[in-house]
A = this chain, B = another copy of it.
Amino acid sequence: MSLTPTQKAPLDVPVERRALYEQNFREMTRGTGRIMMMAADQKVEHLNDDFHGPGISEDDADPEHLFRIASRARIGVMATQVGLIARYGADYPGIRYVAKLNSKTHLVPTKMSDPESRQWLSFEQLDLFRESSSLPILAVGYTIYPGSRAEPEMLREAARLVYEAHQRGLLAILWAYPRGAAVADERDPHLIAGVAGLAACLGADFVKVNEPKAKDGGNAAALREAVLAAGRTRLICAGGKETSVPDFLKRLHAQIHEAGAAGNATGRNIHQRSLPEAVAFCNAISAITLEGATLDEAVALYQKELLAASAAE
């Protein structure tokens, strides 16, 4: 199985919407078949923990920071809640949006209760919003927690969400995180491959997983099992905790070129930086993901852009 830059619409996309689906795919992936997704749903998922504190730029305190980055950097799409898109979208009409349709806080720990997250807006509500906003909302997103005792209702919502997205020519991205009292190791490679396959059965166009932790340290190689299990559903990895730029880009390069990942979804590593740093970092990520840059080229690009930004100040 090798990924192509184009993607034929699955058959739950009605015939008259297939061209739209394929166009949305091209736009999301900038014609590359790979996606650079800025994950901007964390104000719910992590509350203010990722936006305020030591080592976090003061820029990040304001939600508009997310929109400023996404509008200035070369990204594919930004995923966030409809409430934020509705509030800021008029000033940022050039961003391509993924409407993240469910979210939960991290307040209830897994050891207290299995995770559960429910779809906020219905598709009928989303339809009217897409119309009244005129914004380029190309896809929807939804998180599933396989292994939670709330799994049955979430799988049902996820399957219907994918179906309804396809009915409209939109793409569907599933965040798939095994979690709950029954899950001993959330980053077990075999388990992550399992939930990648589950997302394929749910009909997802993209599945976002956490990078597995291989016993031998070869995480990217371990990710290969998941890429295969996902089949024609393209797999992207979550960016994870804040790390150094070269380390991050090295991991990303391996995910794409060793494991066959179709891109990345990065949140904290982007928005916790100041605006110029964040923009430069996005562009370095996109260089690898969308433009075929080597690791060295991407690091060099990041440093060059940072320099230009501080010169411009």
Contact = CB atoms under 8 A, between A and B. Distances in A.
Interface stretch (A111-119, A238-246, A285-293, A296-304): A111-119
A207 to B, nearest CB: 11
A215 B191 CA distance: 36
A19 interface: no
- Best-surrounded residue of A63, A84, A87, A162 (most CB of chain B within 10 A): A87
Interface of A: 1, 8, 10-15, 41, 43-44, 47-49, 51-53, 61-64, 80-90, 103-105, 107-109, 112-113, 116-122, 125, 128-129, 132-135, 146-153, 155-156, 159-160, 162-164, 166-167, 178, 180-183, 190-191, 193-198, 200-204, 225, 228-233
B86 A48 contact: no
Contacts of A156: 118-120
A90 B8 contact: yes
A128 B147 CA distance: 31
Nearest to A112: B182
Nearest to A66: B231
Nearest to A184: B107
A162 B83 contact: yes
Closest 3 pairs between A and B when the two form their complex, measured CB to CB: A47-B194, A83-B203, A107-B147
B200 A51 contact: no
Nearest to A203: B83
A118 B159 CA distance: 11
A9 to B, nearest CB: 9
B118 A201 contact: no
B198 A47 contact: yes
B112 A11 contact: no
Nearest to A228: B61
14 contacts: A1-B64, A11-B132, A14-B128, A44-B197, A51-B229, A52-B228, A61-B229, A84-B231, A88-B231, A105-B151, A107-B182, A108-B182, A120-B155, A120-B156
